[in-house]
Structure 1
């Protein structure tokens, strides 16, 4: 079963202090043949970090977003088939963006240090390391 993981916003994916955990997560997803995509809002920052950390090799697609607070129509159109099968995870640190993602058929995933909020209506993780462990646990549970 191929799933798609879409990372939104440079602030969540491209933080310098997260790069080791990001690469471990991406290595794991790629080893499981999962599709990985990114929505970028700051082209210059994207180019700098992707090249410095060789992250572009992991991405199956990237889409330029128009507004960091919304889901771009190009992403929805591009993933129409995957969304109809409910196999697209949308990862963000914006609760408003995740609410919109859920309404569009994405499975929202919140990554933020304040992920313990009781009002968060989706899967939550404190950081990429915790998210990576959560993905592994989910795969293991599906095998059982």
Structure 2
């Protein structure tokens, strides 16, 4: 079964260098990984998909409600993958990371100050570090 990477909101993409984002997404696509995103703001979503040309990388998007930490539609959509523990949930929010773990996601905390906080999941400062972490994880799995 393929692995899935879910980005918790469109805001993650707006904070980063687009080159680093595209390199990570290209790597994931070349490894036949499924990529999705939860979005909350249609205008920001359009900017990401159209202006930043990320449409080709995303296999699915889920519209979240501001009141939800993790949209139930996302959990329902990925129910089978969650059963096999094959879903990575990437967020810059500690609250979302903790809630995602309760649903069975493998959480990844992505924030500049990730090392200043105590987190129980993988943590990376930016997309470049995340990319290297994913490669390292694949290498460790092969060994």
With normalisation by structure 2, the TM-score equals 0.95
Q: After the TM superposition, which of the residue ranges 1-10 and 78-87 deviates more from structure 2? A: 1-10
Structure 1 equivalent of residue 106 of structure 2: 107
Structure 2 counterpart of 1:77: 76
Contact 1:69–1:97, Cα closer than 8 Å, also in 2: no
TM-score normalised by the chain length of structure 1: 0.95
| Contact preservation (8 Å) 1:70, 1:100 | yes
The 8 Å contact of residues 10 and 48 in structure 2, kept in 1 or not, is answered as: no
Question: Which residue is 1:59 aligned to?
Answer: 58
Moved over 6 A (4+): none
Shift of 1:23: 0.2
Which deviates more from structure 2 when the two are superposed, residues 49-58 or residues 132-141? 49-58
Q: Does 1:123 align with 2:122?
A: yes
Partner of 2:3: 3
Q: For the aligned residues, what is the CA RMSD?
A: 1.2
Task: Tell me the SS of whatever aligns to 1:54.
Answer: coil
For 2:122 and 2:67, the matched residues in 1 are separated by 21
> Deviations 1:47-78 (Å, cap 9, x if unpaired)?
12210121011011000000276000000000
Counterpart for residue 21 of structure 2: 22
